Amino acid sequence: MIQGLNILVVDGNAYMRKVTRMMLMNLGAKSVMEAADGLAALEQIRNSDPDVMLLDWDMPLLNGMEVVRIVRSPGVFPRPNLPIIMLTSRAHRSSVVQALHAGINEFLVKPTSAKALHDRLSSIVINPRPMVQLGDAYVPQPRKMSTGLELDPTEVRR
């Protein structure tokens, strides 16, 4: 399943891009592209049409959250439904909530494992969630909680 994905890795750190690329290749990925900053990421999305993007938060020019806000602009950006995995060193709950509210599909904290990366990619491929408009945010449909209630990212804000 991962073999057929066209994956874009966006990170300002060349070493982290290389490590992530190697993990993806070891998981069977055949097509991995890289971008070193947010502007290059937007250009890659427009030109290369990736199936999924792994995105760091802290980058030059446009940071990861700015990239997410631009990508998640239906009618403005050509790929508002692009699955996004935030891969960052920001591990605070407030960062996770902020990223989810902005419209990322999955969140991983650096350093991550190949298994965690595989699990997040599998989740996107096997159980894709449709994109929905929640207030002013265009986000993946919230997952159902074990109680059967939906988790609304607008209610989780702090």
Q: pLDDT tens digit string along 20-60?
A: 999 999 999 999 999 999 999 999 999 999 999 999 999 98
- Token pair belonging to 139: 């986000």
Residue owning tokens 């986000």: 139
Q: Which is the CATH superfamily of the domain at 2-156?
A: Response regulator (3.40.50.2300)
Report the residue count for the chain.
Answer: 158
Residue ranges in the chain modelled with pLDDT below 50: 145-151, 153-158
- Torsion angle, CA of 32/129/46/100, rounded to 10 degrees? -90
Q: Write down the pLDDT at residue 86.
A: 97
Write down the pLDDT at residue 112.
Answer: 95
Residue 45, both tokens: 């999305």
- The amino acid present at 143, given as its one-letter code, is R
